[in-house]
Chains A and B, each alone.
Chain A
């Protein structure tokens, strides 16, 4: 019973972190049709910046999160301008090569600047320790991660369904040419979405640092995890991504608890099984 409860809480927290990081990838894939293998690298940059701000500069956790999100966006903007712009509408192989090139570069630079060791982001006292629920105690940080995930999901839902920008975004996802003909400035929509996607990745990277530790090979280690969320959840679908994240979070956490030796093996096996069963994603299956 205790184990099941621990697994459930960890799986939920892990799934929510995955969601925060991958939802941006999902939106940009749906919108710009770019297979962005470098998305995890932006989450990693966020983690590094937050670690630097909190540990080396001694700033508070909240400030570190903010600096990480905006710092990552500032780093990403020239990359988008100079490199991503060139691969919109290109064949998939070209996009894969470009974004994997970007990933390798970021890994190499991170390795050079920060060294190969794990970087921690010190938590504020309010997020340390555990909350007592009477029959069981949970690490406060896990609750924080779950709340962040729910908040991001809610905010995105509101932004996409209820705001003027959301209308434009959905129109551009549906049919970019038509949206442009109707006067939507698609390049602005693209730029804003890309920035939000990168910002969310960085946010997820910081909040999830306890679960997905920040180190140079982060971007490669979790690449398939983020991609499978999007390919199973369906590009641009918030409920799909949420479902996929919870499913993957559950599988990965259960595997690590019950079979720590073979956890990764069964995780990849599950990924293959899921993609084979839903080659068009969860949403595609429902249609």
Chain B
């Protein structure tokens, strides 16, 4: 009887999670379709949003789920972008899927390197390491200009048609569809990962690493593994950006992008994949509006936005809405 009870609860929990995965997937696809219909002339922006969304999801894995504060996460995104770009320009690997694979590999390696360094310290030293790392990556890419094009950016990326059928057109339709599909796949995989035993282990590490050690698990190894996964996700985003814009700019490895991705994550709400997506979409549209109206004030607006989020919605937009809904549901019961 008791065992049946447990099994039923377990089954229900599993089904609930699966339902939310499918709902999330549906929301992504519907939003993508609406975006396509509303902004047919601005697909480049929408594609960039999907690429940055991958970066913010990746940041959520280490910051939201593992509690590592980092201001250098663009290092993983930029490494993926350069890996894909260099593969195309210097090695003639112009198949978009292979380029994304190169980006994933490059991002994962950068994640491993950054993880080894960043996880050595805690608190302020950890933050210092993350900032120093992004500057180091930036300087390195700047100086290795024969490979990266330096401050001019890496140009001349000409991806082949997708699976040999769909050429990357001037309007960016193929790139957009490619981006949305990539984002949808990654999102579903990450939903599975954060609910897996490993995801639970990471939540435990975020709350109390000493407890985790007393269970016989190594927090450092688990966090390093998460960093590699995070790098792969960010690298996919970077590669998508390289494929869709056909250039890799040096600012994909910048401190500003790192800080902005953290702003997007916090705006949406940390520790939730939906929050990461919400934050990215809201922030990117906001950026597009403000910088079109007055590019001079962009940084001031981001700063003010950040202060406002800290003061008024510390849980982020999605987190706040979710909390209100949960309270309603609780009261309704």
Q: Which residues of A contact B (CB under 8 A)?
A: 29, 35, 83, 86-87, 92-94, 96-98, 100-109, 111-112, 220, 223-224, 227-228, 230-231, 235, 261-262, 264-265, 268-269, 271-272, 275-276, 279-281
Q: Does B262 contact A (CB under 8 A)?
A: yes
Q: A98-B307, A108-B300, A275-B132 are in contact. List 8 more A-B contacts (CB 8 A).
A: A93-B63, A97-B310, A100-B259, A105-B304, A112-B296, A228-B132, A261-B143, A268-B136
User: How far apart are B113's CB and chain A's nearest CB, in angstroms?
Assistant: 11
- What is the total of A-B residue contacts with beta carbons within 8 Å? 131
Give the chain B neighbours of A102 by CB distance below 8 A: 303, 307
- Which residues of the other chain, A, contact B326 by a CB distance below 8 angstroms? none
Binding site of B, secondary structure by majority: helix, strand, loop or mixed?
helix
For the complex, give the distance between the alpha carbons of A265 and B136 in Å: 6
B57 to chain A, nearest CB (A): 17
Is B147 on the interface with A (CB-CB < 8 A)? no
A-B CB contact pairs (8 Å), 17 listed = A35-B127, A86-B311, A96-B127, A104-B303, A105-B307, A112-B296, A224-B132, A228-B132, A230-B124, A231-B125, A262-B139, A265-B143, A268-B136, A272-B133, A276-B120, A279-B120, A279-B122
For residue A255, give the distance in angstroms from its CB to the closest CB of chain B. Answer: 11
Q: Are B129 and A272 in contact (CB under 8 A)?
A: yes
- Bound Cα distance from A227 to B129, whole angstroms: 10
Q: What is the chain B residue whose CB lies nearest that of A107?
A: B299
Given contacts A29-B124, A276-B120, contact A108 B309 (CB under 8 A): no
Binary interface encoding of chain B residues 291-321 relative to chain A, with 1 for a CB under 8 A from any of its CBs, else 0:
0000011111111111101110010000000
CB distance from A119 to the nearest CB of B (A): 17
- B140 within 8 A of partner (CB): yes
- State whether A279 and B125 are in contact (beta carbons under 8 Å apart), knowing that A108-B300, A111-B299 are contacts in the complex: yes
Residue B121 at the chain A interface, CB threshold 8 Å: yes
- Interchain nearest-CB distance for A278 vs B (Å): 8
A28 to B69, CA, bound (A): 21
Q: Does B135 contact A (CB under 8 A)?
A: yes
Give the CA-CA distance A272 to B132 in the complex, in Å. Answer: 7
With the chains together, A244 CA to B296 CA distance in Å? Answer: 36
CA distance A265 to B142 in the complex (A): 10
Residues of A within 8 A of B302 (CB): 101, 104, 108
Chain B positions near chain A (C-beta within 8 angstroms)? 63, 69, 71, 117, 120-125, 127-129, 131-133, 135-136, 139-140, 143, 255-256, 259, 262-263, 266, 270, 296-307, 309-311, 314
- Chain B residue contacts of A93, Cβ below 8 A: 63, 69, 266, 270
A101, B306: Cβ atoms closer than 8 Å: yes
Give the 9 A-B CB pairs with smallest separation, nearest first.
A108-B300, A104-B303, A101-B306, A105-B303, A108-B299, A268-B136, A101-B307, A279-B121, A265-B139
Q: Chain A residues with Cβ under 8 A from B143's Cβ?
A: 261-262, 265
Q: In the assembled complex, how far is the CB of residue B224 from the closest CB belonging to chain A, in whole angstroms? A: 15
Residues from chain A with a CB closer than 8 A to the CB of B122 are 279
* Pairwise interchain contact B120-A108, C-beta atoms closer than 8 A: no
Given contact pairs A86-B311, A101-B306, A268-B135, A112 touches B128 in the complex (Cβ within 8 A): no
Contact pick for A103, options B117, B121, B298, B303, CB 8 Å: B303
CA distance A47 to B91 in the complex (A): 49
Bound CA–CA A165/B262 (angstroms): 39
- A106 CB to closest chain B CB (Å) equals 8
Q: In the complex, what distance in Å separates the CA atom of A220 from the CA atom of B135?
A: 11
Within the complex, the shortest CB–CB distance from B267 to chain A, in Å, comes to: 10
Cα A264 to Cα B141 with chains together (Å): 12
Residues of B within 8 A of A109 (CB): 300
Could you tell me if B69 and A92 are in contact, using CB atoms closer than 8 angstroms?
Answer: yes
- Residues of chain B contacted by A271 (CB below 8 angstroms): 128, 132
Given contacts A87-B310, A108-B298, A230-B124, contact A101 B303 (CB under 8 A): yes
Known contacts: A228-B128, A276-B129. The answer to whether A105 contacts B300 by CB under 8 A is yes
* Cβ contact within 8 Å between A108 and B301: yes
- Which residues of B have CB within 8 Å of A220? 255-256
**Judging by beta carbons under 8 Å apart, are A276 and B135 in contact?**
no
With CB as the reference atom, state the residue of chain A lying closest to B259: A100
